[in-house]
Structure 1
Amino acid sequence: MQISIEIPEKLAERMQAQWQDISRHVLERIVLEAYRDDILTTHEVQEVLGLEDRLKVYDLCDKHQIATYTLADVQRDRKTTKRLGF
């Protein structure tokens, strides 16, 4: 799918100055939002963005301040820790 958006030139110049590649930045944000909302898997993010491995996905999440360790992960780890006697 191809998506086009129009941005006033004055705003686009500021975005370009900050992000260099506006299209790539917007694509990363959309894909990472879909990942955060459990629409896409790590592998799908990797595929869409052309990343080498899942660790690059996690690096990108860090860059955009998207947590990859969820509350569910914390709760699961807590249960495991208790079960192991720690």
Structure 2
Amino acid sequence: MQITIEIPDEIAQRLDQTQGNLSRRFLELIVADAYGCGKINTAEVRQILQLPTRLSAHIFLKQMGIYLNYDETELEQDLQTLKEFRVQ
């Protein structure tokens, strides 16, 4: 999906100069907000922003000031992964 946002040119130029790629910045803000509201998960953050790893998605969310949505299911999965690594 492509979304168009209209901003006065002089403001858009200032925002683009201070924030870098304006389209990317808006996308990041939308993704961070959606994750914070529980509408998307970490895998979807990675997919939308084309981040290489789960850790990079966590780093992005931390930089945006968003806490991870980490529930008991994810904790159990991580504990199982740790057990598997210890066996190896």
Q: Same fold (TM over 0.5)?
A: yes
TM-score by length of 2: 0.74
What are the ranges of 5 or more consecutive residues in structure 2 without an aligned counterpart?
73-88
> 1:7 and 1:45 mapped to 2: Cα distance?
26
Alignment of 1:1-86 (within 5 A): 1-68=1-68
> Segments of 4+ in structure 1 off by > 4 A?
none
Shift of 1:51: 0.4
Higher relative contact order (CA 8 A, sep 6+): 2
Aligned residue pairs total: 72
TM-score by length of 1: 0.75
Q: Percent identity?
A: 35
Tell me the SS of whatever aligns to 1:39: coil
What are the ranges of 5 or more consecutive residues in structure 1 without an aligned counterpart?
74-86
> 1:54 and 1:64 mapped to 2: Cα distance?
15
